[in-house]
Structure 1
Amino acid sequence: MNYIYPAVFYPEDDGRYSVIFPDLNDLATYGDNLADAFAMAQEACGQYLFTSLRDGDVLPAPSALDTVKKDDENAIVNMVCVNLDEYARAYDDKAVKKTLSIPAWLNTACENLGINYSKVLKDALIAKLQIHS
């Protein structure tokens, strides 16, 4: 499902843009340029909406674009669209079953020590991702 909220993009002196969502408790983010700021705005909005819905919060109605106030005449007011179905598929933390194969001797040793395969694999994959970031 698509959700659309207005955001105010404020140009900064260094070429970056700050972004504020007035309808979402002044949710804020920024980007290195306008394109990056727009991508970061979608990400921040998606995270906010996804978390709010997961927690059972009621989402506010989006303001009409022409009613959004900006503090700077150079600011840009634009709607930001987030597809929460796509966001949930990418970021939901529900478990996904995977099958793996290990040598029998390793399986026996791990079982004897009560090692949790899911935890070890998850921790190793997170560590691997951090190395490549």
Structure 2
Amino acid sequence: MEKLFYPAIFHKAEEGGFWISFPDIPECFTEGENMAQAYEMAVEALGLALTNRKEEKEEIPVPSEADKILVDDGVLVIVEFDMREYQRKHNSKAVKKTLSIPEWMNEEAVEMGVNFSQVLQEALMNKLNAGR
């Protein structure tokens, strides 16, 4: 899953600012004091909702086409969401892994003071095409 683009409706709040709803994700709501904060909050709320659906093994809905959404009250805004970036930001705790390498490789790496965790993380980032 790369970047996703979900339509959101930004509604003017009576007390100022905006409240946001997502037609494709009915449980997803948030608010912000101004357009910039509302957009940031929309990205965070969308991330929380999609991550929760993924963890619960629920369907991730296909984003609706913007021209198919009728907006009676508010402004239609497309919210960009990057699951990989969201996971990096919110799910970066270390996980212990056990692995095996040839003894000669271990001895040479230890002599050189190689940080095995760092090397594995760098290799996985490269393998996953997840360069920062």
Q: Tell me the TM-score normalized by structure 1.
A: 0.65
CA distance in 1, matches of 2:5, 2:47: 10
CA distance in 1, matches of 2:57, 2:93: 17
1:94 is displaced (CA, Å) by 4.6
1:85 is displaced (CA, Å) by 0.2
The residue aligned with 2:58 is 57
The residue aligned with 1:5 is 6
Indicate how the Cα distance of structure 1 residues 45 and 57 shifts in structure 2: closer, same or farther if over 3 A, else same: same
CA distance in 1, matches of 2:52, 2:14: 33
CA distance in 1, matches of 2:3, 2:54: 13
Q: Structure 1: any 5+ residue segments left out of the alignment?
A: 98-133
CA distance in 2, matches of 1:94, 1:53: 18
Percent identity, please: 35
The residue aligned with 2:39 is 38
Q: Structure 2: any 5+ residue segments left out of the alignment?
A: 97-132
Q: Which amino acid aligns with 1:9?
A: F
Indicate how the Cα distance of structure 1 residues 55 and 26 shifts in structure 2: closer, same or farther if over 3 A, else same: closer
Conserved 8 A contact 2:27-2:49: no
Q: Deviations over 1:32-54 (max 9, x none)?
A: 11111110000000111122112
Q: Write the mapping of 1:1-133 to structure 2, written as runs, cut at 5 A.
A: 1-72=2-73, 75-92=74-91, 94-96=93-95
Conserved 8 A contact 2:9-2:75: yes
Tell me which stretches of 4 or more aligned residues in structure 1 moved more than 6 Å. none
Conserved 8 A contact 2:6-2:64: yes
Q: Tell me the TM-score normalized by structure 2.
A: 0.65
Q: Which amino acid aligns with 2:62?
A: A
| Matched residues, number | 95
1:95 is displaced (CA, Å) by 3.7
